[in-house]
Chain A
Amino acid sequence: MSADLTTRYLGLDLAHPIVPSASPMTGNLDSLQRLEEAGASAVVLWSLFEEQIEHDEQQALALAELHAESFGEAVGGYFPTLDDYNTGPGEYLKLIRDAKEHLEIPVIASLNGTSIGGWLRYGKLMEEAGADALELNVYMIPTDPDTTGGEVEQQYLDLVAALKASISIPLAVKVGPFFSSIPNMATRLIDAGADGLVLFNRFYQPDIDLDELEVKPNLRLSTSDELRLPLRWTAILKGQVLGSMAVTSGVHTAEDVIKLLLAGADVTMMASALLRHGPERLTEALEGLRSWLEVNEYESVRQMKGSMSQASSPDPEAFERGNYMKTLVTFARPMR
């Protein structure tokens, strides 16, 4: 008898805990269908960037008016008048509608926003387009020394509360790991209305081009090594935070999935691995999970979930500072 792989995430019943997270691969219907065929239990669509929308709107207007009404010979500007500039979330909402129409699995929309106004508007539109849940991706870079950590945190909480109040579908909040106290912030996010957390977002980070001496943002695909950070926090948060927990960042193999489930994740999310190896990678991870459960005689995912969380771990301190020391010791040993 094969193990029960089902899990529950944001109140959604999923066939198993492996879900493609927001990436270019979840940005068109064709690859969404391939992901479903590969066995994905849900999909998180790629992110709608509020900033991008605003930028596009302003750009489209600027172009339409570029040098218009300036020269007698080119009164109408330099570009043809178009009926529609496809700015705004229209394209994204269509993706939601198409995905809902063609996929059997739950569709989670993803919103990357910066202002309460925009989030509220787009969140509502996504719900109306049929999204089963919403993932809110927040990433703020405070650069003003007068801005306190508390103020930044409050901004997160206000946004979550406002968005939650405007939609009726479940809301997950994807955050970064840069809080002074992640457990405290996680709890407050849930209290503010989030139905679950996604640990952690990865963003373009600046790089310096040494030839040109220019700052160039780039995105490197993750590796399994990056799993350690969310693994720790999943284990620590499990049981302390009431909402669902999904983990993304460094989920590449069945082993990664299993570790996270043991630490307490409800769902594990893959992006880089799928981009690098294609949707089949998900099938492989799913098969790996299934066989690990069988070999190790687990009945279900539910049974293993959180069994190695900090609370359930035989060595809770290992998830705290001791973990670091042990690593050092381990490394030091072969040197002798």
Chain B
Amino acid sequence: MGRVVTVDGNEAAASVAFRTNEVIAIYPITPASPMGELSDDWSAQGRTNIYGTTPEVVEMQSEAGAAGTLHGALQGGALATSFTASQGLLLKIPNMYKIAGELLPSVIHVAARTLATHALSIFGDHSDVMATRATGYSLLASSSVQEAHDMALIAQSATLQSRVPFLHFFDGFRTSHEVAKIEELSDDDLRAMLDDELVAAHRLRRLNPDAPVIRGTAQNPDVFFQAREACNPYYLAVPDIVQTTMDRFAEVAGRQYRLFDYVGAPDAERVVILMGSGIGASEEAVQALVDRGEKVGIVKVRLYRPFSAEALIAALPASTKSIAVLDRTKEPGALGEPLYQDVITAIVEQTAAGNVAWDRFPRVIGGRYGLSSKEFTPSMVAAVFAELEKDDPKVHFTVGIVDDVTHLSLDVTEELNTEPDDVVRAVFFGLGADGTVGANKNSVKIIGENTELFAQGHFVYDSKKSGATTVSHLRFGPRPITSTYEITRANFVACHQFNFLEKMAVLEVAQEGATFLLNSPFEAGEVWDKLPRETQAAIIAKNISFYVVDGVKVAREVGLGGRINTVLQTCFFNLAGILPPDQAIGEIKKAIQKSYGKFGQTVLDRNFAAVDASIAALERVEVPAVADSDFLRPAPVPETAPDFVQRVTAMMIEGKGDLLPVSALPVDGTFPTGTTKFEKRSIALDIPIWDPDICIDCAKCALVCPHAAIRMKVYDPAFLAGAPDTFLSKEYRSREMPGQLLTIQAAPEDCTGCGVCVDVCPAKSKEEVKHKSINMMPKDDHLDVEQANFDFFLSLPEPDRTEVRLDTVKGSQMAEPLFEFSGACAGCGETPYIKLMTQMFGDRVSIANATGCSSIYGGNLPTTPYTTNADGRGPSWANSLFEDNAEFGLGLRLAQDQAVEDARVLVGHFAGELGDELVAGLLAGVTDIDEAGLAVQRERIGHAKKILVDIDSTEARRLLAGIDTLAHKSIWIVGGDGWAYDIGFGGLDHVFASGRNVNILVLDTEVYSNTGGQASKATPRGAVAKFAAGGKPTGKKDLGMIAQAYGNVYVAQIAVGANNTQTVKAFAEAEAYPGTSLIIAYSQCIAHGIDMETGMSHQKEAVESGYWPLYRFDPTAEAEGRHSFHLDSRAPKIPFKEFAMQEARYAMLARTKPEEAERLFGIAQDDINNRWHLYEQLAEVDRLVPEEEEEEVQA
């Protein structure tokens, strides 16, 4: 038996890929990113492959780029690989055709993920892999972590033998992120499977001037077809090669695989065929059904392409009468999903050829399951077998959902419990920030690597970036664990956050007699009354053993702050009893040593102390006989929420989205906006409380609030009638708006408690300087009052937009934000810009949003933050892809412009009915973009609509549908630096060149934020990021200068924390500029390693150090006698290093590689000096030939 390790599927695959390759071309994409990151880490550490060299890991600008590099490396004779998923795999397809067409042996490892259709999903299914069927790649499927390890090697071996490239895939998240105990393949195992002669043969085929050849020729009708057929023998050979390789692997590693593996009754009559992680649940179901005498079985598909019909038939029992083929993908309009069609074809062909044992065709039905990681359980498999038993089964079906529209879904009537009692099943509810998942991964390792038991960890993350919840599903048992589904009958449940009890039914997963561990600020004697009645009832009804520990108290006492994970982990071991107590503590400490040793002795000592203190703090709660709590879990959304929110959104918020039937969901991905306000997450511990006495009316707090949770209104005192006594206001100091009142109000349940508002508040008390006009105070002390105040605040009138100077800081902050309460990180540096944009233009904007953080906090269900004003107007938002956002936005512009043209023409047709004056006004008002003009134009349109609605003609109806476009609409193209600098740059550049009237907002965090901090071309020199662990050696691309080179693009580089006024001005100018505008906005990010509360202060220093100069480039300026390039910040006055050392991304390098840091920081300072020198000159440059000279030139 090989060395036992507990790893996840990504590491299992990457471990083989890294050790058997030389060039690894990658690009981050969920859920495959960890394969690239691990490879990069290993490469940076100097680890070698089995050939003794360290593989080179190169991050490209996109997956398409990675595929091109892979292709080149293979043509160059290197052993090369890549990792990807989903859209990334799609981007590789053109090169996959080439690589296969040229028979270049290589493997791409794929963590299979859903393709974006009506929506994006980061979760797992086979839609991406299925899209590559035609490329000529061999497709090899793994269904578990062990297989992801084994098949990675089998694929590598088989590709070298066959020359046909392989795509090795396993299910995203379910396998890629499942931690399991596996047997590791040693380097010797790898060597035993890979023939050096084949490597040499690959090398000899490389492009080599010493023995030149030509490839990639252009061929004509005379020979292309024949040449394409010339590869056939290679494909015909693949199945045998793979089987032989599997047999050889069995000799080397002791695990035997076949192209199609059958499991079940030898005389099975009903058979299910499927591939991927669903096999685990299916195998359990089959075992249970066979045990009770049913004649059932499953065929596990390993090699999907080339598809060996012979091998499939050989795997099927001769007794087979009916077959259900399960596909984890959807092909709308097809006769059936791909595997189903392949199986039918195989059966027909093999029957015709007389290669079968049966007398008559088995009945074959096909179904879809598990799209986007939808749970797939033994009960569902049982439902499929039950369907096969029917006289008239559904030929095409779905399982795992309720389809009440086309009625394709199978009823799952029987709950098939296949898990034996000797398996410990533990479910943990935690916060992303509390370390629960990390500790659980450790627990899996501890048990997996130190006992005979098998261990499995599966982790579920929610989509919020602030206050994210995690659910861990851990299994420990005496046999390998095949349960590839979430735990529904836990014998141990832990809730690591007390307030979760009011948000979710944590004990729903608990089985009768389970143990419940609650992290509680209340002692055993007082906790009962603090529980919602539902929780009490569940504890009593299920006869649950209930324990509490004050994890926060224990952690604080040993100096671990709020890090409760070690405490809770120790209590878990104590209660679960998997290991003897002393051994458990010893092993936990060993694991702590391993995980934390590199951070230092203090960290170790404190964690050891936490372990020692935990057991003493654990208390058993005497459970009373009745559930008598005076409160229930609150409803997920208020009763006032709209119908859709009540019916659909509320279910998702409660974690019951799986129960929604097909009819509840929109057919085309269209959802109502403005739903975050119904999801009161209440995650802040402290919230901002306003002190009007010292407020100076600056509006900075509202401007910088990432969540629109602190707001400002200016209003007539008369509106105060009916205000709660606690409602605060002050006189608004303004000559333009005399006699008005001002209120700054926080939304207490929507605030994340980031404290940025307090950090920027310039008003300090004269008597006590630490007291500002905004102060963070404990939410619990203020919630009721502030909730009432906020409700009243919302009832105050919004300002008349024609009266307010929206292009000023104060004016913009009086306007209603139409982007609120997003799930972005606390202190997010991006969202204040988006919010500002919606305050200034939200009622007329369509947003094209690149995939990334801004599309996740902007558009991830259950609730979304873009909202509407009282007129029902607000941002209209769509996300196309990551790579195409600029083009997508341009398309929106073109459509808008065409719609205007159509409406103009039609308005002319109805001149008689509308009247000349209205028509002239409508046509003239098209170009009005100021608030007053817009208001008048909207009135005209309203008037025209009233007339048109009574005209019965198709033209009138067409005009009615499009007349709104005559009031100015703006297009904002929003995305991060990963999009703008890297994957989408080509399209962005083209849109610059188009000169069309779109506004582009680049939220520059200088790193791929959404996928976990990988370097982009916006990452500055010297910064540590993933794929730049040694500090990025090259400088940041100057995107603004590239755009300026076109001459007709408005460009602004802004940092709201450094210069509020310039920021607001830039937005106003960009919107007003009639061509393409680009705003590059400095956005602090958690990936910078700063205290996010002080993010805006960091922006200030970024500007003062010259690291982030502020400027505006206005192509129209010179015609007005000004220079087009205007510097808005002063010459650098603090050294770069002083700024940089406050950010961990730089300070980390200074610590780990002091000399390299000195070198890179030195160059970075030069970069700053040189850039400033250049910019200063640019500020004086005439771009246009002066008029007199122009005349001379023309003469």
Partner-B contacts on A (CB < 8 A) = 53-54, 56-61, 63-88, 91, 117-118, 121, 213
Once the chains bind, are A67 and B1086 in contact (CB under 8 Å)? yes
Once the chains bind, are B470 and A69 in contact (CB under 8 Å)? yes
Using Cβ atoms and an 8 Å threshold, which residues of chain B touch A67?
Answer: 432-433, 465, 825, 1086
Once the chains bind, are A70 and B599 in contact (CB under 8 Å)? no
Once the chains bind, are B465 and A71 in contact (CB under 8 Å)? yes
Q: Which of B446-454, B541-549, B1009-1017 contacts A (4 or more CB under 8 A)?
A: B1009-1017
Using Cβ atoms and an 8 Å threshold, which residues of chain A touch B153?
Answer: none
Which 9 pairs between the two chains have the least Cβ-Cβ distance?
A70-B432, A74-B1012, A57-B600, A69-B437, A78-B1013, A80-B1029, A72-B461, A87-B600, A73-B30
Once the chains bind, are B1013 and A72 in contact (CB under 8 Å)? no
**B1144: Cβ under 8 A from any A Cβ:** yes
Q: Say which residue of B602, B1152, B1154 sits within 8 Å of A57 (CB atoms).
A: B602
- Pairs A–B under 8 Å by Cβ, sample size 20: A58-B602, A60-B600, A61-B603, A69-B459, A70-B432, A71-B1012, A72-B123, A72-B461, A73-B30, A73-B33, A73-B122, A73-B1010, A74-B1013, A77-B1013, A79-B1026, A80-B1027, A80-B1028, A84-B598, A117-B605, A213-B769
**Please, how many angstroms separate the alpha-carbon atoms of A14 and B764 in the complex?**
56
Beyond A72-B463, A75-B461, A85-B1151, is A80–B470 a contact (Cβ under 8 Å)? no
Closest Cβ–Cβ distance, residue A209 to chain B (whole Å):
11
Closest to A68 in B: B438
Closest Cβ–Cβ distance, residue A48 to chain B (whole Å):
13
**Please, how many angstroms separate the alpha-carbon atoms of A69 and B34 in the complex?**
12
Q: Say which residue of A56, A65, A77 sits within 8 Å of B600 (CB atoms).
A: A56
**Please, how many angstroms separate the alpha-carbon atoms of A63 and B431 in the complex?**
17
Using Cβ atoms and an 8 Å threshold, which residues of chain A touch B437?
Answer: 69-70, 75
Once the chains bind, are A75 and B1151 in contact (CB under 8 Å)? no
Closest to A59 in B: B1144
Using Cβ atoms and an 8 Å threshold, which residues of chain B touch A77?
Answer: 1012-1013
Once the chains bind, are B433 and A121 in contact (CB under 8 Å)? no
Using Cβ atoms and an 8 Å threshold, which residues of chain A touch B436?
Answer: 69
**Please, how many angstroms separate the alpha-carbon atoms of A117 and B596 in the complex?**
19
Mark each residue of chain B from 993 to 1012: 1 if its CB lies under 8 Å from any CB of chain A, else 0: 00000000000000000111
Query: Looking at A54, A59, A68, A82, which has the most chain B CB atoms within 10 Å of its CB?
Result: A82
Mark each residue of chain B from 457 to 476: 1 if its CB lies under 8 Å from any CB of chain A, else 0: 00101010100101000000
**B884: Cβ under 8 A from any A Cβ:** no
Once the chains bind, are B1013 and A53 in contact (CB under 8 Å)? no
Q: Which of B36-44, B664-672, B889-897 contacts A (4 or more CB under 8 A)?
A: B36-44
Q: Say which residue of B33, B432, B1028, B1086 sits within 8 Å of A78 (CB atoms).
A: B1086
**B435: Cβ under 8 A from any A Cβ:** yes
**Please, how many angstroms separate the alpha-carbon atoms of A88 and B438 in the complex?**
23
Q: Say which residue of B173, B438, B596 sits within 8 Å of A72 (CB atoms).
A: B173
Closest to B1015 in A: A80
7 new A-B contacts at CB < 8 Å, known A79-B1087, A80-B1028, A82-B1152: A57-B600, A57-B602, A57-B603, A67-B465, A69-B470, A70-B461, A72-B122
**B1025: Cβ under 8 A from any A Cβ:** yes
Query: Looking at B40, B1010, B1026, which has the most chain A CB atoms within 10 Å of its CB?
Result: B1026
**B1148: Cβ under 8 A from any A Cβ:** yes
Q: Say which residue of B596, B600, B1012 sits within 8 Å of A73 (CB atoms).
A: B1012
Closest Cβ–Cβ distance, residue B497 to chain A (whole Å):
13
Once the chains bind, are A80 and B37 in contact (CB under 8 Å)? yes
Using Cβ atoms and an 8 Å threshold, which residues of chain B touch A60?
Answer: 599-600, 1148, 1151
Once the chains bind, are B598 and A69 in contact (CB under 8 Å)? no
**Please, how many angstroms separate the alpha-carbon atoms of A118 and B600 in the complex?**
12
**Please, how many angstroms separate the alpha-carbon atoms of A118 and B606 in the complex?**
13
Beyond A63-B1089, A63-B1144, is A80–B602 a contact (Cβ under 8 Å)? no
Q: Say which residue of B463, B600, B1145 sits within 8 Å of A88 (CB atoms).
A: B600
Closest Cβ–Cβ distance, residue B811 to chain A (whole Å):
27
Using Cβ atoms and an 8 Å threshold, which residues of chain A touch B600?
Answer: 53-54, 56-57, 60, 85, 87-88
**B976: Cβ under 8 A from any A Cβ:** no
**Please, how many angstroms separate the alpha-carbon atoms of A75 and B599 in the complex?**
20
Using Cβ atoms and an 8 Å threshold, which residues of chain B touch A81?
Answer: 37, 41
Q: Say which residue of B34, B435, B769, B1025 sits within 8 Å of A65 (CB atoms).
A: B435
Using Cβ atoms and an 8 Å threshold, which residues of chain A touch B461?
Answer: 69-72, 75
Using Cβ atoms and an 8 Å threshold, which residues of chain B touch A66?
Answer: 1086, 1089
Mark each residue of chain B from 597 to 616: 1 if its CB lies under 8 Å from any CB of chain A, else 0: 01111110100000000000
**Please, how many angstroms separate the alpha-carbon atoms of A318 and B470 in the complex?**
73
Once the chains bind, are B432 and A85 in contact (CB under 8 Å)? no
**B378: Cβ under 8 A from any A Cβ:** no
Closest Cβ–Cβ distance, residue A69 to chain B (whole Å):
4
- Among residues 1 to 57 in chain B, which have CB atoms less than 8 Å away from a CB atom of chain A? 30-31, 33-34, 37, 40-41, 44-45
Using Cβ atoms and an 8 Å threshold, which residues of chain B touch A91?
Answer: 1154
**Please, how many angstroms separate the alpha-carbon atoms of A175 and B1013 in the complex?**
46
Closest to A55 in B: B602
Using Cβ atoms and an 8 Å threshold, which residues of chain A touch B1011?
Answer: 73-74
Closest Cβ–Cβ distance, residue A125 to chain B (whole Å):
10
Using Cβ atoms and an 8 Å threshold, which residues of chain A touch B468?
Answer: 70-71
Beyond A70-B433, A78-B1013, A81-B41, is A86–B602 a contact (Cβ under 8 Å)? no
Once the chains bind, are A82 and B1029 in contact (CB under 8 Å)? yes
Beyond A78-B1012, A78-B1013, A80-B1024, is A53–B1029 a contact (Cβ under 8 Å)? no
**B425: Cβ under 8 A from any A Cβ:** no
Closest to A77 in B: B1012
Closest Cβ–Cβ distance, residue B775 to chain A (whole Å):
15
**Please, how many angstroms separate the alpha-carbon atoms of A80 and B1027 in the complex?**
8
Q: Say which residue of B33, B123, B432, B1024 sits within 8 Å of A69 (CB atoms).
A: B432
**Please, how many angstroms separate the alpha-carbon atoms of A71 and B459 in the complex?**
10
Q: Say which residue of A58, A79, A213 sits within 8 Å of B1089 (CB atoms).
A: A79
Once the chains bind, are B438 and A69 in contact (CB under 8 Å)? yes
Closest Cβ–Cβ distance, residue B420 to chain A (whole Å):
29
Using Cβ atoms and an 8 Å threshold, which residues of chain A touch B30?
Answer: 72-73
- Among residues 1037 to 1095 in chain B, which have CB atoms less than 8 Å away from a CB atom of chain A? 1086-1087, 1089
**B174: Cβ under 8 A from any A Cβ:** no
**B177: Cβ under 8 A from any A Cβ:** yes
**Please, how many angstroms separate the alpha-carbon atoms of A230 and B74 in the complex?**
74
- Among residues 255 to 293 in chain B, which have CB atoms less than 8 Å away from a CB atom of chain A? none
**Please, how many angstroms separate the alpha-carbon atoms of A81 and B40 in the complex?**
10
Using Cβ atoms and an 8 Å threshold, which residues of chain B touch A64?
Answer: 599
**Please, how many angstroms separate the alpha-carbon atoms of A79 and B1011 in the complex?**
11
Closest Cβ–Cβ distance, residue A261 to chain B (whole Å):
38
**Please, how many angstroms separate the alpha-carbon atoms of A69 and B825 in the complex?**
14
**Please, how many angstroms separate the alpha-carbon atoms of A72 and B29 in the complex?**
11
Closest Cβ–Cβ distance, residue B752 to chain A (whole Å):
13
Query: Looking at B41, B596, B601, B1145, which has the most chain A CB atoms within 10 Å of its CB?
Result: B601
